[in-house]
Amino acid sequence: MHDEKKTVLLVAMPFAGVTIPSIQLAVLEGYCRQRGITIETRHLYLKAAEIYGLQDYHWLIYPPNDSYTAQMVFSRYVFPEHWEKNQERFREYFQQHSSQNHGLPPFTFEEYVHRTDTLYQWILDHVDWRSFDIIGFTLNYGQLLPSLAVAKKIKEFAPEKTIVFGGSRTVGTLGINVLQAFDYVDCIVSGDGEEALYLLASNHEPYKSIPRLIYRNKEKVLWNKSDAVVDLTTLPIPSYDHFYQELASTSNHIQQYYQYYGRLPVEISRGCWWNQCTFCNLNIQHPCYREKSTNRILQEIRWLSERYRMMDFQLIGNTLPKTEYRSLFEKLKNLGRDFSFFVEARAGQLTSEDYTFMKEAGFSMIQTGIESFSQNYLRKMNKGVRVIDNIAALKFCKENGIQNNYNLLVRYPNEEPVDFEETKKIAHQLKAYLDAPQLCQLRVMHGSHIQRHPKQFNIGQLEYSPIDVLMYPFEYLEKGFVFVYNFKQKNQTDDNPWESLVEEWKKEQETIQLEHKSQQTSIDQLIFYFVDGGNFIKIYDKRDRLNIKIFVLNELERHVFLSCVDIISFKELQRRFLDVPEFELTAILQSFEQNGLVYVEDDYYLCLPLRCRVKSMQEKKEECLVNISP
């Protein structure tokens, strides 16, 4: 160990979104700074948004385009000969891909290349690369080519600099293969990067004792695998000082956009406690699940809010805390501040009451891993949840005014007609009153169960994606750092009309929203809901606008119905209604099912109408009137 420490610069390249600072940079900066390392960070995707133009930058990176495709012009600097030979193919791909997704692109291919040239040159000229000993790049989905382009240039004018890559794009064997393919990358950190980066900056030797480091030893590439994990609760609070400094140097348009839509990330966990979904590869970076304590999460939120004057946060983790989520909701609520939170969630984890607490705590938007409304499809995905769990999650969000941005994942190589038909049947029940999904077509990701066991999913052959074939010379693709694969089916299956199903759902929602504009009260805008009369219940069903139905439940029916507000088994219902004969209980439930008032799956029941809290709606209205009165 040498006493002299090295200076560190960490960089996040395009094509990350501008609304959320890189948490990787913020966490590593906080960790190293606490231990006496001189470290700075640069969020260069902010400048990219300015040079491309914010609207055009969003066009490049958000669906139906994506950040992976957006990086393609950087092939020009990494593989100049390949670019010159294939420039016309790049142009054709850009024009064809753009027209398929959006109609005419907002700029020409030549303008795309020109703006990328301007950005690339700005980055080289305006970052003080020579002032740092170690230059690290965090790499996620669409950042490999931009990072390679800049790293290559740095090595040309300052070969003594140590270039380090890290992030999900270079984890494990991917990192080994990137190191073998690009000699201007000196080492890679696979997984938790805090200790490895600190030891590198501390001039620690030998490399073989630095955990998770991938490095060269003469002609060999070595990987120091380690089972040790970072205790998230002991990490220092992330530092976003450099992000805000960089934001202040961008255009007023980008600064204002961030003030309206930006969120500060707060890490709550690493890894996934379920970790069995067949399409997912997120745990290749963090195979061991761990989470922060709720007290520490609260401490970070309060500190970050006060330091950066922010009220909007994104909780970073594959899902909510496994067991302490209710405690987190209650503590956030008790802070008494107008915070707004976004988090990813898992269906089947929370009750209806939990969603109410969640809303009161400030969770205005979540993304639940729904993926499908087909039992058959969910089994292929090994989601570990049921259709009834997915419906419940969407229903509880709708009742509490929580926006749920969820996807339907489709076109598995072993997709069957039953997968579509089951989903279509559910969509018919839900589309009038629950929000429509986004459609997400399966991409086989490196490290996923599908990629590792393709034959189990009717895959005859995995292939390089067209965009990778375009961006990389074939001899580089063969080096094994591909992140996304296409596939050829072993046995050809029929293509199901998923697009039309989702489009019909969205049109139904648009029609309803237009009708709502002419309606005077909040309750008139509800489509499928119930009101509780104490010893009876009234259910209003306007899902079919040409055949509106009103159901009045008697006292016993009311009790049975309310018992199904959360998912409940028939056996549990029997235990709750011991003095009700089984035939009578069965008859009540069958009546509910026949009238579309409950969803039934494997003897589990869930009521479908939304709970309408007329009193609380009126109280909120009166509260608003009080607040705006002079």
Q: What is the mean pLDDT of residues 611-622?
A: 55
* Alpha helix (H) residue ranges in 402-493: 417-430, 449-452, 466-471, 474-477
Residue that has been written with the tokens 């600097």 in this structure: 77
Is the Cβ–Cβ distance between 164 and 186 less than 8 Å? yes
Task: Show the CA angle centred on residue 117, arms to residues 113 and 121, nearest 5°.
Answer: 170
Domain boundary at 206, 223, 240, which? 223
Q: Which two tokens stand for residue 83?
A: 């670019």
Q: ω before 206 within 30° of 0 (cis)?
A: yes
Same domain, 154 and 78: yes
pLDDT at 286: 85
Amino acid at 81: E
Q: Are strands 213-217 and 187-189 parallel, antiparallel or unpaired?
A: antiparallel
pLDDT at 103: 63
Domain range enclosing 538: 519-615
Same domain, 18 and 155: yes
pLDDT at 520: 60
For residue 384, being part of any structural domain is answered with: yes
Displacement of CA 167 from its chain's centroid (Å): 16
pLDDT at 627: 38
Same domain, 174 and 268: no
d(CA 369, CA 406): 6
Is a pLDDT exceeding 90 seen at residue 553?
A: yes
Q: What is the mean pLDDT of residues 198-215?
A: 93
The CB density around residue 190, as the number of other CB atoms within 10 Å, is 27
Which one, of 269, 267, 189, lies nearest residue 8 by Cα? 189
Domain boundary at 425, 442, 459, which? 442
Torsion angle, CA of 194/196/200/206, rounded to 10 degrees? 160
Same domain, 384 and 273: yes
Same domain, 268 and 212: no
Is a pLDDT exceeding 70 seen at residue 314?
A: yes
pLDDT at 521: 67
Same domain, 48 and 115: yes
Q: Are strands 312-316 and 403-404 parallel, antiparallel or unpaired?
A: unpaired
pLDDT at 614: 55
Same domain, 194 and 288: no
> Which residues, at least 6 apart from 619, have a Cβ–Cβ distance to it below 8 Å?
none
Residue that has been written with the tokens 């590439």 in this structure: 221
Is the Cβ–Cβ distance between 83 and 90 less than 8 Å? yes
Number of structural domains found in the chain: 3
Same domain, 561 and 611: yes
For residue 192, being part of any structural domain is answered with: yes
Is a pLDDT exceeding 90 seen at residue 629?
A: no
For residue 622, being part of any structural domain is answered with: no
Same domain, 423 and 290: yes
More confident residue, 102 or 129: 129
Residue 531's DSSP bridge partners are 538
Which one, of 288, 281, 261, lies nearest residue 364 by Cα? 261
Same domain, 438 and 549: no
pLDDT tens sequence across 326-354: 999 999 999 999 999 999 999 999 999 99
Q: Are strands 403-404 and 363-368 parallel, antiparallel or unpaired?
A: parallel
In angstroms, the Cα distances linking 66 to 17, 51, 101, 178, 269 are: 11, 18, 11, 22, 26
Domain boundary at 422, 442, 462, which? 442
Task: Determine what percent of the chain is predicted with pLDDT higher than 70.
Answer: 95
Same domain, 343 and 436: yes
The CB density around residue 610, as the number of other CB atoms within 10 Å, is 19
For residue 539, being part of any structural domain is answered with: yes
Residue 437 DSSP label: P
Q: Tell me the pLDDT band of 516, cut-offs 50, 70 and 90.
A: confident
SS3 call for 193:
coil
Is a pLDDT exceeding 90 seen at residue 206?
A: no
pLDDT at 205: 83
pLDDT at 284: 85
Q: Tell me the pLDDT band of 309, cut-offs 50, 70 and 90.
A: very high
Residue 11's DSSP bridge partners are 42, 137
d(CA 455, CA 447): 15
**Average pLDDT of the chain?**
93
Q: What is the mean pLDDT of residues 84-110?
A: 87
d(CA 276, CA 187): 30
pLDDT tens sequence across 269-306: 999 999 999 999 988 888 889 999 999 999 999 999 99
Q: What is the mean pLDDT of residues 221-247?
A: 94
pLDDT tens sequence across 459-503: 999 999 999 999 999 999 999 999 999 999 999 999 999 999 999
The CB density around residue 259, as the number of other CB atoms within 10 Å, is 12
pLDDT at 218: 87
Question: What is Dmax (Cα atoms) for the chain?
Answer: 85
Q: Tell me the pLDDT band of 101, cut-offs 50, 70 and 90.
A: low
For residue 625, being part of any structural domain is answered with: no
Same domain, 167 and 267: no
> Which residues, at least 6 apart from 7, have a Cβ–Cβ distance to it below 8 Å?
37, 38, 39, 131, 132, 133, 134, 201
For residue 591, being part of any structural domain is answered with: yes
Is a pLDDT exceeding 50 seen at residue 622?
A: no
For residue 235, being part of any structural domain is answered with: no
pLDDT at 228: 86
pLDDT at 128: 96
For residue 125, being part of any structural domain is answered with: yes
* Alpha helix (H) residue ranges in 131-278: 144-157, 173-181, 194-201, 241-248, 252-261
> What CATH number does residue 551 fall under?
1.10.10.10
Q: What is the mean pLDDT of residues 59-66?
A: 92
Task: Determine what percent of the chain is predicted with pLDDT higher than 90.
Answer: 88
pLDDT tens sequence across 567-604: 999 999 999 999 999 999 999 999 999 999 999 999 99
